[in-house]
Structure 1
Amino acid sequence: MTTTPLRLMAVHAHPDDESSKGAATTARYSAEGVEVLVVSCTGGERGSILNPSYGRDITDLDEMRQVRTVEMAEAAQALGVQHRWLGFVDSGLPEGDPLPPLPPGCFALVPLEEAAAPLVELVRDFRPHVITTYDPTGGYPHPDHIMTHRVAKEAFHAAGDSDRYRDRGQPWEPLKLYYNHDFSMNRIRSMHQAMLDAGLESPFGDWVESRAAREIPEREVTTRIACSDYFDARDGALRAHATQIDPDGFFFAIPRDLEIEMWPVEEYELAESRVATTTPEDDLFAGITGNEGLSA
């Protein structure tokens, strides 16, 4: 029996999410010969310019989509991964009290089966053994992140069912579903204290002190992936998203030697598994042989 390459699919809401959530993990697995596909559900059209040094504003959705398409290609190259768009339109982050309605036609308002159909097709085409995405809260309450969770979970369950999405390719059953934990409060508090102990100003102070942060529930961590050798690749991918990432800002405020010493891993929650595995894990493919789905 021939062993096929292992395959990992990371499902994200917007371009730049793949670089701030699980990026070093995907870079590591790609470097080790795993086929890695990053999926962006939306084009990030409604993202604001978050980099004060970017130099200009962009208000046109089509122009923003074009700019972020180029950024995403550069980020994928930095990580060494493949990339696909699902083609939905960014919902934006509603603000105010009460919150305004979401824009018509945006990703978060698309009926679930309609939104999941292209991802089911992509799963059946790429045939990932493992899928990663966000937990049911989205990691934070952005409507596109919550919708991404729903769509990825739907595809995980439906892609192997020949009676569902019949016009979307031959069934393929992924084996494990994980949730990213890159912005867990445990990590934030740990890095905040490490910065203070080193006599440095912490970028996490407002998060740690805020009531909202204290009320963020800590989800179970089942899997830690050692990936500090790939922090440079992650940082290169982050910098590729020049509209979103300030090179002198939050993501680069922690000295890399301190980060490697204190937190050299990326964390995940094993949400579902169709193979036997024992937690805690140090490998997203624990319990998977690579022969699944093959005939003898």
Structure 2
Amino acid sequence: MAPRLLFVHAHPDDESLWTGGTIAQHTAAGGDADLIVCTWAPGTQRHAEVVEAARILGLPREPIALGYADDRIPASAPGAPRFCEARLDTQVREMVAHIRRLRPDALVTYDPIGVYGHQDHIHAHRLADAAARAAAVPNIYRRLGDPWQIKSIYEVTTSAWMVDTLWEHVFDEKEVDRLQAVSDDDIDLRVDIDSAALLDRKEAAIQAHHTELDRSIAMKALMSLPTDIRRKLLATECYHRRDLIPGGTPLL
């Protein structure tokens, strides 16, 4: 039986760029999954775009929006605090409630440096990690439901060959220098999307994020690469694995 998955991402578009192939492959095989997006409130344009992207990727339910403000865009959640400035204990409590209700076997988020140092990504990692551990403790947040033990956490990372390709074709030297280059030996799981239909679905989900494609020079450059280079990059998703119980659980 396929594990039940919970994806925790900082922004709309991250779910498609970093884990879209994993989501599409998992749901196409009949697996269940949910997505939590930490920034951009319901009613904003980018929230509407992530709802559409989640539908394309096959998620059975709309993303859960925590509704905090993106780091540099107050309009992403009018009147709400910036994601990185809100009280962590309040956010952990909120996340624990979702984990105990959804009861995932594995949680997927960023690695400790947020893949490339983005503070919203780093904070999402901290929040997801703390909540995954707290959700299993019976004497914490008793009113939020029965404790639930997540078996494994999978953290998005990037392999060295991907960074080299991005350096050559997408980013300038200053931007790509923030991306970590992990050797293949240090990657615990590499998901290869070898189905053209699933890769098409991932690309369509990325294209659903019109606002970010219009704004981001790097994202626009990525999606404008020659087809063979672009699809090679998008067809590979890499993870570190951390088991919270002996044996953990496979991702797919």
Task: Please give the TM-score of this superposition, normalised by the length of structure 1.
Answer: 0.71
CA drift of 1:159 comes to 0.8
Q: Residue 21 of structure 2 aligns with which residue?
A: 24
Q: Residue 203 of structure 1 aligns with which residue?
A: 170
Amino acid at match of 1:90: D
Measure, in 2, the Cα distance between the counterparts of 1:124 and 1:214: 35
Measure, in 1, the Cα distance between the counterparts of 2:54 and 2:180: 31
1:225-278 Cα distance to aligned partner (Å, 9 max, x none): 121422211111111111101499223133343455577421101133424279
Q: Residue 59 of structure 1 aligns with which residue?
A: none
Q: Taking structure 1 as reference, are residues 174 and 203 closer, same or farther at Cα in structure 2, changes over 3 Å only? A: same
Larger radius of gyration: 1
The 8 Å contact of residues 12 and 18 in structure 1, kept in 2 or not, is answered as yes
Q: Residue 90 of structure 1 aligns with which residue?
A: 70
1:77 aligns with 2:55: yes
CA drift of 1:90 comes to 2.2
Q: Residue 144 of structure 1 aligns with which residue?
A: 120
1:20-54 Cα distance to aligned partner (Å, 9 max, x none): 111111111011011011110111x7xxxxxxxxx
**Any gaps of 5 or more consecutive residues in structure 1?**
46-61, 94-102, 194-201, 286-296
The partner residue of 2:203 within 228, 235, 248 is: 235
The structure carrying a bigger helix percent of its residues is: 2
Q: State the identity %.
A: 31
SS of the residue corresponding to residue 140 of structure 1 reads helix
CA drift of 1:87 comes to 2.5
Coordinate RMSD, CA, aligned: 3.0
Task: Please give the TM-score of this superposition, normalised by the length of structure 2.
Answer: 0.82
Q: Residue 187 of structure 1 aligns with which residue?
A: 162
The 8 Å contact of residues 156 and 238 in structure 2, kept in 1 or not, is answered as yes
Amino acid at match of 2:65: W
Q: Taking structure 1 as reference, are residues 150 and 254 closer, same or farther at Cα in structure 2, changes over 3 Å only? A: same
**Any gaps of 5 or more consecutive residues in structure 2?**
74-78
The partner residue of 1:115 within 77, 91, 111 is: 91
1:114-146 Cα distance to aligned partner (Å, 9 max, x none): 111121111111111110111111122322211
Number of equivalences: 239
